[in-house]
């Protein structure tokens, strides 16, 4: 039995990754893909059937009676689709890749390695940096004593295809660009979901994809440095050993390990001399574990499929 899927925002960087994964997923059947710019053109990456982009409005989406609607639109555009599907009270599951519903208590915030799965027909997918920050902090969340600071750097695909300074090759050449150094949406998102005080400094660089994030975490006073390190390392190893998509390692995580990969790497645990501060790194592909492959994990959980369905072959 296939899951009839409609993808809204199919032309984008995230949409393109979703089409590729859906093409290899045994249960997801893409019945429509929306793009204003590519309306009428063939969806060449979709290999299961001959599909053409359409410029779909919410009424046309509902008329298709999909089992699943994936929204991969820029922030602020999900509402018209969500409200109509809600009004029609059809049994369609919605997963939104934007930030629009990440603070809505009626939506399940889907970060499977950090928050236990809840059956829901409304799923909000975390932001890319927000995923990396939470993967860094989750194993020691109860040991945190004060403000966490995170430094993140992303490839310019994080800024999407709409032209901006953050994906302008001229401005990015031989450059690294700090931006939104206060109140970044992901700083708010992680503070909200972890309930901790987090400050985040995003940067963008001229490479295409991949995020490297370093978290500095103040810890409650340990008894001794060696004991503290052993205890903290054990926590990370235990937390991630049951999560196939997360590789925990001793060395700091590097972007080269995760480009075009569905999972993330966490590593480089380093305690300050007095044991009061822990540094930890996480790398992930912003378009995959930061978006599309995490969305498919969440879709699998929502439809009670194996969590890694469609994600194992890499």
Binding mask 21-50 for ligand NDP (x = CB under 6 A): --------------xxxx------------
Binding mask 100-129 for ligand NDP (x = CB under 6 A): ---------------------------xx-
| Nearest in space to 215 (alpha carbons), one of 255, 286, 266, 166 | 266
- Which residue's Cβ has the minimum distance to ligand NDP? 12
Minimum Å distance from CB 61 to ligand X2W? Answer: 20
Q: How many CB atoms lie within 10 A of CB 303?
A: 16
> Which 3 state secondary structure label does DSSP give 268?
strand
Handedness of CA 167, 171, 174, 178 (dihedral sign): negative
Task: Say which entry of ligand NDP, ligand X2W, none residue 11 contacts (CB below 5 to 8 A, set by partner kind).
Answer: ligand NDP
Minimum Å distance from CB 287 to ligand X2W? Answer: 10
CA distance 117 to 113: 9
Binding mask 149-168 for ligand X2W (x = CB under 6 A): -----x---xx------x--
Q: Give the DSSP letter of residue 141.
A: G
> Which 3 state secondary structure label does DSSP give 43?
coil
Report how far apart, in Å, the C-alpha atoms of 69 and of each of 31, 94, 305 are: 10, 5, 17
CA distance 265 to 2: 32
Active site (annotated) includes residue 128: yes
Task: Say which entry of ligand X2W, ligand NDP, none residue 185 contacts (CB below 5 to 8 A, set by partner kind).
Answer: ligand X2W
Binding mask 70-89 for ligand X2W (x = CB under 6 A): -----x--------------
Cite the beta strand spans of 105-197 per DSSP E. Answer: 108-109, 122-124, 148-155, 176-178
Asked if 98 contacts 77 with a C-beta cutoff of 8 angstroms, the reply is yes
| Nearest in space to 199 (alpha carbons), one of 148, 152, 156, 250 | 148
Does position 217 interact with ligand NDP (CB under 6 A)? The reply is no
Enumerate the β-bridge partners of residue 228. none
Among 70, 73, 138, 232, binds ligand NDP (CB under 6 A): 73
Residues 6+ apart with CB under 8 A from 44: none
Among 20, 45, 74, 177, binds ligand NDP (CB under 6 A): 74
CA distance 155 to 258: 12
Does position 66 interact with ligand X2W (CB under 6 A)? The reply is no
Please report, as residue ranges, which positions from 199 to 238 form the binding site for ligand X2W (by CB under 6 A).
202, 204
Piece of the chain touching ligand NDP by CB under 6 A; list 159-167, 172-180, 222-230, 248-256: 159-167
Minimum Å distance from CB 154 to ligand NDP? Answer: 7
Among 5, 283, 286, 298, binds ligand NDP (CB under 6 A): 286
Between 168 and 247, CB nearer to ligand X2W: 168
Binding site for ligand NDP (CB under 6 A): 9-15, 35-38, 72-75, 77, 97-98, 127-128, 157-158, 160-162, 286-287, 290-291
Catalytic residue set: 128
């Amino acid at each position: 039995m296939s899951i009839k899927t409609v993808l809204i925002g199919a032309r984008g960087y995230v949409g393109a990754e979703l089409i590729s994964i859906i093409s290899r997923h045994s249960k997801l059947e893409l019945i429509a893909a929306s793009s204003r710019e590519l309306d009428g053109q063939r969806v060449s990456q979709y290999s299961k059937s001959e599909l053409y982009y359409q410029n779909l409005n919410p009424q046309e989406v509902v008329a298709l009676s999909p089992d699943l609607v994936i929204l991969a639109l820029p922030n602020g555009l999900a509402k018209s689709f969500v409200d109509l599907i809600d009004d029609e009270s059809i049994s369609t599951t919605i997963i939104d890749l934007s930030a629009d519903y990440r603070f809505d208590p009626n939506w399940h915030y889907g970060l499977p390695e950090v928050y236990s799965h809840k059956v829901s027909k409304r799923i909000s997918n975390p932001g890319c940096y927000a995923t990396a920050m939470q993967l860094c902090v989750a194993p020691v969340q109860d040991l945190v004593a004060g403000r966490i600071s995170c430094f993140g750097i992303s490839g310019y695909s994080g800024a999407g295809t709409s032209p901006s300074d953050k994906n302008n090759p001229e401005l990015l050449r031989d450059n690294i660009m700090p931006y939104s150094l206060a109140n970044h949406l992901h700083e708010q998102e992680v503070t909200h979901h972890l309930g901790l005080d987090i400050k985040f400094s995003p940067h963008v660089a001229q490479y295409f994809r991949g995020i490297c994030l370093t978290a500095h975490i103040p810890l409650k006073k340990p008894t001794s440095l060696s004991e503290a390190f052993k205890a903290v390392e054990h926590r990370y190893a235990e937390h991630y050993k049951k999560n196939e998509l997360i590789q925990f390692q001793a060395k700091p995580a590097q972007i080269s390990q995760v480009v075009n990969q569905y999972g993330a790497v966490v590593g480089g645990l380093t305690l300050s001399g007095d044991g009061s501060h822990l540094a930890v790194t996480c790398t992930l592909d912003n378009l995959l574990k930061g978006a599309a492959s995490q969305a498919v994990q969440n879709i699998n959980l929502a439809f009670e499929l194996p969590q890694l369905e469609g994600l194992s072959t890499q």
